[in-house]
Chains A and B, each alone.
Chain A
């Protein structure tokens, strides 16, 4: 199974259970399919704030199925690939209910790339393998010494480093009686010590290690004779935590209707729809306006129009957007219609919504061609507000 950025496709799926956020699964009751080319198919079932994941042969019965190749899938999940770019360029596809699939984003905590670590054994091997390359011969003029390392614990071992005639050699035993010998109860402490995670005094004071023989040789001479060990895992700089503050700004307001809009809204209370007419160009304004913006004259005469009319235009909105009153996204799809009420002409249209289950049946008008006839559905209790009309429905 291929790895991308050190992560397998399976890693993403295997960690889903741990990354699952029940608080993000409220109101989600669905089965999602994942089809990863060359890797397999998975079915994710979310119900009652819980999830189950299974490998599947086929993905029938899923509300939405995403498909991508392994690299894209891992890339998107680890943040290595821009999700929007992958989606827009077709590398990451979703079939079925796009809106429902969007909710999977809230279901999981982010996948975190586990930092690959070297084991103690690997470190020790690397540390002693690099001793000869790190040796600075010019500092060893006239020096003959040997350094013993007796490192205990399951990963430990024994080494001797010899220096003679400006040549450095390493053996994997302790030979003879070294000039100085470092004994560590646990080789892990030695690795930590060399990596600078713990200092000599602390180890010695805690009785985790001791030095025998010419301690001065180890304390003063060793750092001069050898270049410092470089941690091959170092350099992976910790990415700074960047804060994002999420808020919903919510303000209460009061608006004066003014006499013109006031009359219009009060009319709705009586199930009447008023437009006003421009004395210059004769057009009806809906809702009514103080002046005709085109002719720049006061528009006064009120005309009752409708309440039935024909649909001239309809937008079916698939993309959720927040209701300005609550900040919560409206349910999609919905049909936003422009109605030419009886008594109006040309562009004298009124925007409103169509009954949800009738979206499919609406015909739009075009020049002389008539659109579907609709009528308002009134609220029982009307207060002089746009929502006194609940929506329009087909006038059959």
Chain B
């Protein structure tokens, strides 16, 4: 499928990320973007002159500016260059990566820069998302960005106590990872001994979804530079190769709440993972990949999705968590960066997944680098009402 039609290979040669945090009153939107762009150019040892095309992403209604790419030129450096803006909701960062990959692979451009950003303290996430889709119906009746349905699912399947503990276990592992990542937004210094206390005290947001289990609202930006094989080898000592990516959509409506096993719902993560692994001949993804940067907007989704992505059976996914196999040093380290729960500048978040996975492959992620060699990495993006983007990264060009 897709990757077989690639005209040429594409490598990541530059990565820049701001520290993700709340309340960046000291910068406006282009200024925040400029920080990430400058870091990525420095990382790749390039200047803006070397960039052929800028792919810029945004979340509609989040930054409250019409045509933000015009204003953002001050930060993106797109003055006088080919530039494309992409807006695909929560997946936007992942789509930026796919688009950049495609633009280089097609032969259209040699070097492309992808830029995702968010200033969630300026806009209103829930307000923005509530205005999603059909204005006559869903917009008026939407419950907001959040749902507790995944918690409901896991609880019903595995019992309240085990579910709650697995969720908090996942949360604390993410916090421990975030504590190692200097760019992470929320790193509280939580410990496993706090599980029971947090289950009891953390305020509920929706259904069983508690505040502590939800991702942060962050300000931050991420920039990744893509180059064709020839340029990547010339310009970078450690290019990270993009093997394949896949995007799966479904319809926008919310009719996923029938809870009747006779009528299964399309699960895009599971569907996308199966397609992607099949066409790349990967039979045992859990063993094949060395790290997974997952778009985990809340712990409940995360623990449920591990099963979907790796096609696990029964309670295998819970045991991975309970036995801390998803921690750095475990069998399948998930989100050494601390994940979306640790930092969530939404327009950048899915690009941060690709960037962090690439950093792990490069082997210079910093304090949160996995100690064992990383040759194969996986990154996911999530958005809309259950859309999926997945990206596979490789250390060597030998597939």
Which residues of A approach B to under 8 Å, CB–CB? 82, 84-85, 88-90, 93-94, 98, 242, 244, 247, 249, 253, 255, 257, 261, 265, 286-287, 289, 293-294, 312-319, 321-322, 324-325, 327, 336, 338, 340, 345-349, 351-353, 364-367, 386-387
Q: Give complex CA distance A96, B42 in Å.
A: 50
Given contacts A261-B137, A319-B205, 10 further A-B contacts (CB under 8 A): A90-B201, A261-B136, A312-B260, A313-B149, A316-B204, A321-B145, A336-B141, A336-B143, A338-B257, A345-B260
- Which of B79-87, B124-132, B295-303, B305-313 faces chain A? B124-132
**Which residues in A have their C-beta under 8 angstroms from that of B257?**
312-313, 338, 347, 349, 351
30 contacts between A and B (CB under 8 A): A82-B22, A84-B22, A89-B189, A93-B201, A242-B25, A287-B137, A294-B251, A312-B259, A313-B149, A313-B257, A314-B207, A316-B148, A318-B205, A319-B126, A319-B144, A319-B206, A322-B126, A322-B127, A338-B258, A345-B263, A346-B262, A346-B263, A347-B258, A347-B260, A347-B263, A348-B258, A351-B142, A351-B254, A367-B259, A386-B141
Specify which of B135, B189, B203 is in contact with A253 (CB 8 Å cutoff).
Answer: B135
Q: Are A315 and B147 in contact (CB under 8 A)?
A: yes
**Which residues in B have their C-beta under 8 angstroms from that of A98?**
203
B265 located at the interface, meaning its Cβ lies under 8 Å from any Cβ of chain A in the complex? yes
**Which residues in A have their C-beta under 8 angstroms from that of B189?**
89
Give the interface SS of chain B, mostly helix, strand, loop or mixed: loop
B279 located at the interface, meaning its Cβ lies under 8 Å from any Cβ of chain A in the complex? no
Q: Are A324 and B139 in contact (CB under 8 A)?
A: yes
**Which residues in B have their C-beta under 8 angstroms from that of A351?**
138, 141-142, 254, 257
Q: In the assembled complex, how far is the CB of residue B133 from the closest CB belonging to chain A, in whole angstroms? A: 12
Q: In the assembled complex, how far is the CB of residue A158 from the closest CB belonging to chain B, in whole angstroms? A: 49
Which size class do B's interface residues fall under?
A: 35 or more
Q: Are A85 and B259 in contact (CB under 8 A)?
A: no
Chain A: which residue is nearest B124 at the CB level? A322
Q: Are B143 and A293 in contact (CB under 8 A)?
A: no
B39 located at the interface, meaning its Cβ lies under 8 Å from any Cβ of chain A in the complex? no
Query: Within residues 197 to 212 of chain B, which ones have a CB less than 8 A from any CB in chain A?
Result: 197-198, 201-207, 211-212
B190 located at the interface, meaning its Cβ lies under 8 Å from any Cβ of chain A in the complex? yes
Q: Are A313 and B152 in contact (CB under 8 A)?
A: yes
Specify which of B25, B202, B265, B266 is in contact with A244 (CB 8 Å cutoff).
Answer: B25
With A249-B64, A386-B140 known as contacts, the answer to whether A340 contacts B130 (CB < 8 A) is no
Q: Give complex CA distance A93, B257 in Å.
A: 34
Chain A: which residue is nearest B211 at the CB level? A88
Chain A: which residue is nearest B205 at the CB level? A319
Q: In the assembled complex, how far is the CB of residue A261 from the closest CB belonging to chain B, in whole angstroms? A: 6
Which residues of B approach A to under 8 Å, CB–CB? 22, 25-26, 64, 124, 126-127, 130-131, 134-149, 152, 156, 186, 188-190, 194, 197-198, 201-207, 211-212, 216, 250-251, 253-263, 265-266
Chain B: which residue is nearest A352 at the CB level? B141
**Which residues in A have their C-beta under 8 angstroms from that of B143?**
315, 317, 336
Chain B: which residue is nearest A243 at the CB level? B25
Chain B: which residue is nearest A91 at the CB level? B188
Task: Give the residue among B188, B203, B254, B258 with the most A Cβ atoms within 10 A.
Answer: B258
Q: Give complex CA distance A85, B156 in Å.
A: 31
With A313-B149, A324-B131 known as contacts, the answer to whether A89 contacts B205 (CB < 8 A) is no
Q: Are B206 and A364 in contact (CB under 8 A)?
A: no
**Which residues in B have their C-beta under 8 angstroms from that of A82?**
22
Closest 6 CB pairs of A and B: A346-B263, A347-B258, A293-B251, A89-B188, A338-B257, A313-B257
Q: Are A321 and B126 in contact (CB under 8 A)?
A: yes
Q: Are A348 and B136 in contact (CB under 8 A)?
A: no
Specify which of B25, B138, B207, B250 is in contact with A293 (CB 8 Å cutoff).
Answer: B250
With A249-B64, A346-B260, A347-B263 known as contacts, the answer to whether A90 contacts B198 (CB < 8 A) is yes
Q: Give complex CA distance A345, B146 in Å.
A: 25
